Structure 1
Amino acid sequence: MGVEADKLRSLVDGFNGKSVVVLGDLMLDHFVYTEPRKLSREAPVVVADYSSESYRPGGAANLAVILKRMGARVSLVGAVGIDEDADKLLGELKSSGVDISGVVTTGRKTCVKRRIYVGKRQYLRIDIEDRTPLEGPIADRVLAMFSQSLEGADLALMSDHDKGTLTPSLIYQAVELARTAGKCVVSRPKVEHVFDYTHTDSLVTTVREASEAVGVKILNDSSIRNLGFNMLTRIECGSVYLYDQNTSYLFEQSSVTYVPPLAKFPYHEVIGVRDVVTAAYGLAYVTSRNPLYASLISRAAESLYVEATNGARAQISEAHLRESISRFFEDGYSYRTVKVR
């Protein structure tokens, strides 16, 4: 079927002013840039000269910033340590306009992903993190902050990076709180927790991670369908959107929609693409209550982001999304929906 670009653009216009609560694992991304000079005599490694460095919100914090740039009002709920990295992260979030009143402090270290670049290539990543699950009073405080932030919100987005914030117990309680409050709930789980996100409105994940979670090897179209409907039935959610750089798949109760790529890009190394997909999908979903429109708009955001020279620096706004929709959907793009039940 064809796509009405005007309809998609009008939905993006509706992003402005939507209120979103993001609950998940907060991280700080640290980028260190160097230039190669010679090979070391000490070990088979490159000796590089330091050029510069930068800090950016990562994980659920990055998702919150992207949502803000797309026009939403964003409240962030999660946990950080009491350290300089937390100060840097919270400073970046505050300057981006994200409400950080729901962020609680813990005795453990703030999660940091340090990426070392030599020239234009990422050479090494060092993860500094404590993945111990949040429990007891700290988990209770996070849940209390989430409950408070739901007031006036349109959407609850749960961003799981398996860093300890979203435990099975907290996930269950958070979903129940949001549903009781009548909020739309969209989840982006990690493999270990996929089946904890029951009764959400929609779930977004990659084809690869879905395959790992369910234990279904992707061999052909039949295995893809088995995977998607298995998840839909077991999670008891309204829809499941599985994406990758090739065809993406939207599973609803009686149909599967095949959503082709908008452009061909080698994006396996692009940092933050999952957050862009989740942000666009969640905002489009709560604006339209239509998972198909959400999948198409997220595909546009994904292609626009990956097309950038360096995904870690790309900034996707409402205006960028409208331009992307005009470019990708005005020229005969089509998707295919198959009724199966």
Structure 2
Amino acid sequence: MKMKPERVKEILSKFKNQKIIVIGDLMLDEFIYGRVIRISPEAPVPVVEVTKEERYPGGASNVARNLRAMGCQVDIIGQVGKDSYASQLQELLQADGIGISGVITNPNTRTVVKTRVIARHQQMVRVDREYRERLQVQIADKAIAEFKSKIKEAHAVIIEDYGKGFVTQMLVDRVSNLVSTQKKILAVDPNPYNPLHWHEPTVVKPNRLEAFAASGIVYSEPVNPVEKDTALDRVGKILLEKWRPQHLLITLGDQGMALFQRNKPLYHTPTKAQEVFDVTGAGDTAISAYTLALSAGATPPDAAEIANHAAGLVVGKLGTAVTNQTEILESFKKNG
């Protein structure tokens, strides 16, 4: 389905009036760029001469950053450790204009950091610093208190589960109850290795691999056209019953996205990516754009189209990238 640029512009123009709360696993993404100059005499590994270092908000923090880049107001809720990485992350979030009063310092954990070493546009190695721990009751209480103070003014809530311990059933139950009471949009980016009961959210957005894992169906390779992919169709129907969302949006990499709704045929939007440099954070962009578009009055298919264009733009950039309204509108004008 082609959206007219006028319709896209109308939806995008409402982004600035939306306010969204992101709750989930906060991370810091660190990128070390360099060039390979030789093989190490100590071991058969390349030596990377560092030319540049960059840091960005990652995980749920990247969802917040994406939303802010697209023009809406954002508050984030999550935990960090008592360390220098936490300070760096909060400074980056503040610089982007994201509300951080819900960032809770937990001295018993450490801030999650993912460090990627990149040479000639190729990721050579990733180093993860993390400490998985179930969410402590006192931290959950602080998070919910912060959430209660903000939910009335918000238009939508995104729960972003990276499986690092912050998103638990207790937290989900309490957040979902408040969202339901306030009749707000609830979007979920689930983690199949942290199976939780979702309370009939507005939308759940797994990728293809996650969707198969969550459905219990053995993974099968993609089929073209997507509408003929019977395994994917079965997975979609299972998850609609399992999670009871209003919509299920499955991201399909180079095949775009598949939108499932009850009693409606699968809606497929092909990828809009022109070039793929880095898929880091593309799923974060997808759920951000989809939720924000819904909040601004888009239909589910229109929201899927906007999310697909937004994701196509960020994979054409290096690092944990974001896009904005101008780029999205230009993408529609160029690619339909």
Shift of 1:197: 2.2
Contact map agreement 1:27 1:110 (CA 8 A) in 2: yes
How many Å apart are 1:185 and its aligned residue? 0.7
Q: Partner of 2:226 in structure 1?
A: none
Cα 1:215–1:265, aligned 2, differ >3 Å: closer, same or farther? farther
Question: Aligned residue for 1:150?
Answer: 151
Matched residue, 1:22? 22
Residues 288-307 of structure 1: pairs in structure 2 closer than 5 A: 288=297, 290-307=299-316
Contact 1:56 1:92 in 2 (8 A): yes
Deviation per residue, 1:285-338 (Å, 9 max, x gap): 111252111101001101111223x143x4311111111121121xxxxxxxxx
TM-score in terms of structure 1 length? 0.91
Partner of 1:281: 290
Matches within 5 A, 1:1-341: 1-107=1-107, 108-193=109-194, 195-216=196-217, 217-218=219-220, 221-244=229-252, 245-255=254-264, 256-263=266-273, 265-266=275-276, 269-288=278-297, 290-308=299-317, 310-312=318-320, 314-329=321-336
**Equivalent position amino acid for 1:44 in 2:** P
Contact map agreement 2:273 2:313 (CA 8 A) in 1: no
**Contact in 2 for aligned 1:189/1:205 (Cα 8 Å):** yes
Give the counterpart letter for 1:322 in structure 2.
L
Shift of 1:118: 2.9
Matching residue's letter, 1:324 = S
One-letter code aligned to 2:16? N
Cα distance, 1:207 vs structure 2: 1.3
Q: CA shift at 1:265, angstroms?
A: 4.5
Tell me, in whole angstroms, the C-alpha distance in 2 between the residues paired with 1:283 and 1:293. 11
Moved more, 34-43 or 89-98: 34-43
1:23–1:158 CA contact under 8 A, matched in 2: yes
- Read off the aligned partner of 2:234 and give its amino acid letter: N
After the TM superposition, which of the residue ranges 317-326 and 70-79 deviates more from structure 2?
317-326
Task: List per-residue Cα deviations over 1:21-43 (Å, max 9, x = no partner).
Answer: 00010001111122222111210
SS in 2 for 1:307: coil
- 1-structure distance, mates of 2:197, 2:5: 36
How many pairs align?
326
Contact map agreement 2:26 2:58 (CA 8 A) in 1:
yes
Superposition TM-score, scaled by structure 2 size = 0.92
Structure 1 unmatched ranges of 5 or more = 330-341
Question: Which runs of 5 or more residues in structure 2 are unaligned?
Answer: 224-228
Q: CA deviation at 1:50?
A: 2.4
Task: Tell me if the contact between 1:9 and 1:325 (Cα under 8 Å) persists in the aligned partners.
Answer: no
**What amino acid sits opposite 1:218 in the alignment?**
S
1:184 and 1:81 map into 2 onto residues whose CA distance is 30
What's the CA shift for 1:9? Answer: 2.2
The answer to whether the Cα contact below 8 Å between 1:168 and 1:193 also exists between their aligned partners in 2 is: no
Letter of the 1:28 counterpart: L
Tell me the SS of whatever aligns to 2:127. strand
Q: Do the aligned residues in 2 keep the contact of 1:285 with 1:294 (CA within 8 Å)? A: yes
One-letter amino acid of the counterpart of residue 297, structure 1? I
Q: Distance in 2 between matches of 1:169 and 1:315?
A: 31
Partner Cα distance (2:231, 2:36) in 1 = 46
1:217-245: CA deviation from partner (whole Å, max 9, x where unpaired):
33652211111111111111101011112
* CA-CA distance at 1:109 after TM superposition: 0.6
Q: Say whether the 8 Å CA contact 1:65–1:93 is kept in structure 2.
A: yes
Which is further off, 98-107 or 130-139? Answer: 130-139
Contact kept in structure 2, 1:273 and 1:311, CA below 8 Å:
no
Q: Counterpart amino acid of 2:333?
A: S
Q: Distance in 1 between matches of 2:298 and 2:329?
A: 19
Deviation for aligned residue 1:266: 4.5
Q: What is the DSSP-based 3-state SS (H/G/I as helix, E as strand, rest coil) of the residue aligned with 2:296? A: helix
Letter in structure 2 aligned against 1:161: Y
CA distance in 2, matches of 1:139, 1:222: 41
Task: Please say if residues 102 and 145 of structure 1, whose CA atoms lie closer than 8 Å, have aligned partners that are also in contact.
Answer: yes
Q: Is the 8 A contact 1:134 1:167 kept in 2?
A: yes
Give SS of 1:205's match: coil
| Separation (CA, whole Å) in 2 of partners of 1:323 and 1:194 | 39
Instruction: Name the CA distance, whole Å, in 2 between partners of 1:236 and 1:48.
Output: 48
Percent of aligned pairs with the same amino acid: 29
The runs of at least 4 aligned residues of structure 1 exceeding 6 Å deviation read: none
